[in-house]
Copies of this chain bind each other. A is one copy, B any other.
Amino acid sequence: MVVDFSKLELNKLIPIYLQIIRHVKMEILAGNAQDGFEMPSRRVLSTLLSVNPNTVQKAYKQMEEEGLIISYPGSKSIVVANEENIIRIRQELISDEVLSFIKSARAMGFTLDQAKNVLDKYWDYKGKEVD
């Protein structure tokens, strides 16, 4: 099975290679990218995302260094989704995504209840308009 990138929408503010890495981590956490799954090749993913192959390579190289994937020259790269990695990724993403949101919500003057109400209101939200 191959790790799915079809739901990754690139944001212009954050470096693309970091968004690729974060996407893989989220797919692992969500249980969609399991241990031993294949990564798409650098060239294939660069085409899919309309991005330069070197940008994808930068992401893959860093994931390699983090022990998130294993690459064999000539062959495809493989996901390493062992317990150790999953625990580390969960801590990292909670710290990056959850805590930064809480920080923002508090800075905006939200109480905990108000923050939960906002989640209720926008959880199933799809489009672009907000009110």
A1 within 8 A of B: no
Binding site for B on A (CB under 8 A): 7, 13-15, 18, 23, 26-27, 29-32, 91, 93-95, 97-99, 101-102, 104-105, 107-109, 112, 115-116, 118-120, 122-123, 125, 128, 130-131
Check B31 against A130 for contact (C-beta < 8 Å). no
By secondary structure, the A interface counts as: helix
Known interface pairs A26-B107, A91-B130, A108-B30; A102-B116 also in contact (CB < 8 Å):
no
Distance between Cα atoms of A80 and B15 in the complex (Å): 32
Known interface pairs A95-B130, A97-B104, A108-B29; A119-B122 also in contact (CB < 8 Å):
no
